[in-house]
């Protein structure tokens, strides 16, 4: 493992890799900075580019750049026009926009950039450190353990879904069912294909994701139309002083730790991390009353926490093939299109590439600060760009990207079909992320469960209790973890609701 780490350093230090990361960061920040254009949408229209370049060491770091840039970029409209660019920056609005009202938008934007980049850097190091022992443990996992972990992940995603649990469950179930379409993995019998050749392989992940994430947002943007230019964004006030930054170091460290631990658990994601980071900063402050009234530390708490999620989501993704959120689901698709199947054996079979990607991810943070700092004034203006200029470009990217990926006309049908599902779900206030998780994890669960049955033979009780204690332990722990996490999420939701009510009052 150490050898491939060293080999990874070598492969990561390539000029073209850094050029592409920079491009990814810029595009990601742009996508994040555009209000109403989320990171998952930006990623989904850019994923095809990553495999058109062919080389995984260019394509994947490019997408990681988009991911990082997008999560940070979302803070720009949050601060300037009180409109989170992505779900991750909901908590940045509280203090960030207050600072803008006080004419201190520059301070807020710079704090957001530095907090994001620093937490990103340390969480990426944490990822590199964590992935080696996790991969070592996971390497001992056979199909039974993986099946149990998949089941656990489904439960975690169900209880932590945003919005009502029942809606999350419905979407999760729908995703699992959609995953059944196509030939079954063991006997190659066709299921739900209606005799068509196109459905025999099942739905392809990439057009499905672009349809579910990009099209509804485009539709929404069209529906809303251009927002009147009354809310003028600006980049004004003094720059961030060192003393002010130093005061927030504790908060950044706390949020980095929080965000990293949230990132390693699939299904929680940046919005939760940002809220928790913000609440934790406020609770441990000596002057909690200033939060929500333009406190720089609040911006740091939220922004450090959401960016710290990015790196650690790669741990379950790469070692088990479990994507933590919509964006990592897209990364999973990108890995697979490059012929790299995330799972227990990925690190031993393609260790140099994986470590190359992870190291490029760490080094990307240096570019992050530089590019971010130079482009703040630009993105501050992008916030007010006319949507009517952007929507056609995005539509073009979504359709062309889908088709170019495999040159398969049926992918366009898939794109439009899932686009309609996504639009309907959005109108009915259903989150599509659990559906994607259900789709990916359901197929994996089916396969590993089938393998487990083949391994177990007839006497599966003895198999579970004597040969596979690991699997049994995970299965026993699943309801406990589910209930505890569910309660916690419930309390958290209640608290967030109260906040909103107080704020509204």
- Using CB under 8 A as the criterion, what x/- string covers residues 352-391 for binding other proteins? ----------------------------------------
Query: Applying CB under 8 A, does 341 fall inside the site for other proteins?
Result: yes
Residue 319's alpha-carbon distances to 80, 182, 344, in angstroms, are 39, 26, 5
Q: Least CB distance from residue 473 to other proteins, whole Å?
A: 17
- Structure tokens, 264: 């390693």
Query: Applying CB under 8 A, does 339 fall inside the site for other proteins?
Result: yes
Distance CA 127, CA 256 (A): 12
Query: Applying CB under 8 A, does 349 fall inside the site for other proteins?
Result: yes
Nearest Cα residue to 292 out of 94, 102, 108, 89 = 94
Listed in sequence order, the residues at least 6 apart from 459 whose beta carbon sits closer than 8 Å to its beta carbon are none
Query: Applying CB under 8 A, does 3 fall inside the site for other proteins?
Result: no
Query: Applying CB under 8 A, does 186 fall inside the site for other proteins?
Result: yes
If the CB atoms of residues 403 and 447 are measured against other proteins, the closer one turns out to be 447
Q: Cα angle at 109 between 103 and 110, to 5 degrees? A: 115
Question: Which range binds other proteins by CB under 8 A, 140-148, 228-236, 284-292, 495-503?
Answer: 140-148
- Using CB under 8 A as the criterion, what x/- string covers residues 141-160 for binding other proteins? -xx-----------------
- Using CB under 8 A as the criterion, what x/- string covers residues 45-84 for binding other proteins? ---------x------------------------------
If the CB atoms of residues 195 and 225 are measured against other proteins, the closer one turns out to be 195
If the CB atoms of residues 122 and 141 are measured against other proteins, the closer one turns out to be 141
Q: Running DSSP on this structure, what letter comes out for residue 88?
A: G
If the CB atoms of residues 186 and 192 are measured against other proteins, the closer one turns out to be 186
Q: Which of residues 192-221 bind other proteins (CB under 8 A)?
A: 197, 200-201
If the CB atoms of residues 187 and 286 are measured against other proteins, the closer one turns out to be 187
The size of the interface with other proteins (CB under 8 A), counted in residues, is 28
If the CB atoms of residues 206 and 305 are measured against other proteins, the closer one turns out to be 206
* 3-state SS track over 115-171: HHHHHHHHHHHHHHHHHHHHHHHHHCCCHHHHHHHHHHHHHHHHHHCCCCHHHHHHH
Phi then psi for residue 182, to 5 deg, are 110, 180
Pick from 345, 462, 465, 497: which binds other proteins (CB under 8 A)? Answer: 345
Q: Least CB distance from residue 340 to other proteins, whole Å?
A: 7
Place of tokens 């489904």: 154
Distance CA 263, CA 308 (A): 7
Query: Applying CB under 8 A, does 188 fall inside the site for other proteins?
Result: yes
Under 8 Å between Cβ of 237 and 104: yes
- Structure tokens, 272: 């939760």
- Using CB under 8 A as the criterion, what x/- string covers residues 437-466 for binding other proteins? ----------x--xx--xx-x---------
Q: Least CB distance from residue 450 to other proteins, whole Å?
A: 7
- Structure tokens, 163: 């919005």
243-249: long-range contacts, CB 8 A cutoff, minimum separation 24:
244/107, 244/111, 244/296, 245/111, 245/114, 247/296, 247/297, 248/111, 248/115, 248/296, 248/297, 248/300, 248/301
- Structure tokens, 223: 């529906």
Q: Least CB distance from residue 146 to other proteins, whole Å?
A: 11
The contact set with other proteins (CB under 8 A) reads 54, 139-140, 142-143, 183, 185-188, 197, 200-201, 339-341, 343-345, 348-350, 447, 450-451, 454-455, 457
């Amino acid at each position: 493992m150490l050898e491939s780490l060293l080999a990874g350093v070598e492969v990561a230090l390539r000029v073209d890799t850094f050029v592409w990361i920079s491009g990814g960061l810029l595009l990601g920040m742009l996508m994040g900075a555009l209000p109403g254009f989320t990171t998952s949408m930006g990623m989904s229209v850019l994923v095809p580019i990553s495999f058109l370049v062919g080389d995984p060491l260019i394509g994947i770091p490019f997408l990681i750049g988009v991911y990082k840039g997008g999560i940070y970029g979302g803070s720009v409209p949050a601060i300037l026009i009180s409109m989170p660019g992505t779900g991750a920056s909901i908590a940045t609005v509280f203090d960030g926009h207050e600072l803008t009202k006080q004419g201190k938008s520059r301070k807020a934007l710079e704090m957001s950039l530095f907090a994001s980049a620093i937490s990103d850097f340390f969480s990426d190091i944490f990822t590199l450190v964590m992935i080696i022992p996790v991969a070592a443990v996971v390497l001992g996992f056979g199909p039974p353990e993986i099946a149990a972990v998949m089941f656990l992940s489904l439960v975690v995603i169900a209880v932590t879904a945003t919005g009502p649990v029942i809606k999350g469950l419905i979407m999760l179930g729908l995703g699992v069912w959609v995953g059944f379409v196509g030939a079954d993995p063991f006997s190659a019998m066709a299921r739900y294909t209606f005799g068509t050749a196109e459905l025999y392989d099942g739905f392809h992940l990439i057009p499905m994701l672009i349809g579910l994430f990009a099209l509804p947002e485009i539709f929404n943007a069209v529906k809303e139309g251009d927002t009147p230019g009354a809310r003028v964004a600006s980049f004004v006030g003094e720059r961030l002083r060192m003393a002010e930054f130093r005061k927030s170091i504790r908060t950044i460290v706390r949020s980095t730790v929080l965000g990293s631990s949230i990132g390693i658990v699939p299904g929680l994601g940046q919005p939760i991390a940002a809220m928790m980071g913000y609440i934790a900063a406020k609770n441990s402050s000596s002057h909690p009353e200033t939060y929500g009234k333009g406190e720089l530390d609040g911006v740091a708490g939220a922004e450090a926490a959401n960016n710290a999620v990015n790196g650690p989501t790669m741990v379950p993704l790469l070692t088990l093939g479990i994507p933590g959120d919509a964006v990592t689901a897209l990364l999973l698709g990108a890995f697979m299109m490059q012929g790299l199947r995330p799972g227990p054996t990925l690190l031993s079979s393609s260790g140099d590439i994986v470590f190359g990607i992870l190291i490029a991810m760490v080094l990307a943070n240096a570019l992050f600060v530089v590019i971010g700092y130079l482009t703040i004034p630009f993105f501050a203006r992008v916030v007010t760009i006319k949507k009517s200029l952007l929507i056609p470009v995005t539509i073009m990217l979504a359709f062309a990207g889908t088709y170019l990926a495999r040159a398969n006309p049926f992918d366009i049908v898939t794109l439009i079909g899932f686009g309609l599902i996504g639009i309907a779900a959005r109108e009915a206030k259903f989150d599509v992320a659990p559906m994607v998780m259900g789709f990916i994890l359901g197929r994996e669960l089916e396969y590993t469960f089938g393998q487990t049955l083949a391994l177990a033979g007839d006497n599966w009780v003895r198999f579970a209790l004597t040969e596979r204690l690991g699997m049994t332990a995970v299965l026993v722990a699943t309801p406990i973890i589910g209930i505890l996490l569910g309660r916690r999420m419930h309390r958290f939701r209640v608290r967030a609701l109260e906040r909103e009510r107080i704020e509204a009052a």
